[in-house]
Amino acid sequence: MQRWNDSSPIYQQLADRLAVQLLDGSPPEGEALPSVRVLASQYLINPLTVSRALQALVDNGLVEPRRGLGMYVQPGARSRLLKSEREQFLQQEWPALRAKLRRLGLSAKDLNWEEQQ
């Protein structure tokens, strides 16, 4: 299991991890997320921290609370996340990565885009 770091609050780190899972399609749109208690025991953190992370996902329109049933993935959540992540990558991460590749003298032909087993 990944550890928590000091770069941002734990609830935000958990919200980010859950968002990555949503981006990967787990759970699928329309399905329930694990309960606060399950997530708290899985990540070994306080249930209030989990609730705060889930509220961040609600605030971003990715999940919705259903009274007495839990949190459910909103329709279109994956596509909104994908769009947001792509924009962030292209605006923030790609320029730095491109500069590093140039410094190292690497070009597209030097890179292997396929996963290595």
Q: Say if 31 falls within a structural domain.
A: yes
What whole-number percentage of the chain has pLDDT above 90? 86
Q: Say if 60 falls within a structural domain.
A: yes
Those residues with Cβ within 8 angstroms of residue 79's Cβ, 6 or more apart along the chain or in another chain: none
Side chain identity, residue 104: L
Q: Say if 112 falls within a structural domain.
A: no
Q: Are 11 and 3 in contact (CB under 8 A)?
A: no
How many distinct structural domains can be found in the chain? Answer: 1
d(CA 11, CA 59): 13
What CATH number does residue 71 fall under? 1.10.10.10
Q: Say if 116 falls within a structural domain.
A: no
List the domain range (segments joined by +) for residue 86.
1-107
**Does residue 27 have a cis peptide bond before it, meaning omega lies within 30 degrees of 0?**
yes
d(CA 51, CA 58): 10
User: Tens of pLDDT along the chain (117 residues)?
Assistant: 568 998 999 999 999 999 999 999 999 999 999 999 999 999 999 999 999 999 999 999 999 999 999 999 999 999 999 999 999 999 999 999 999 999 999 998 888 877 766
Q: How many residues does the chain have?
A: 117
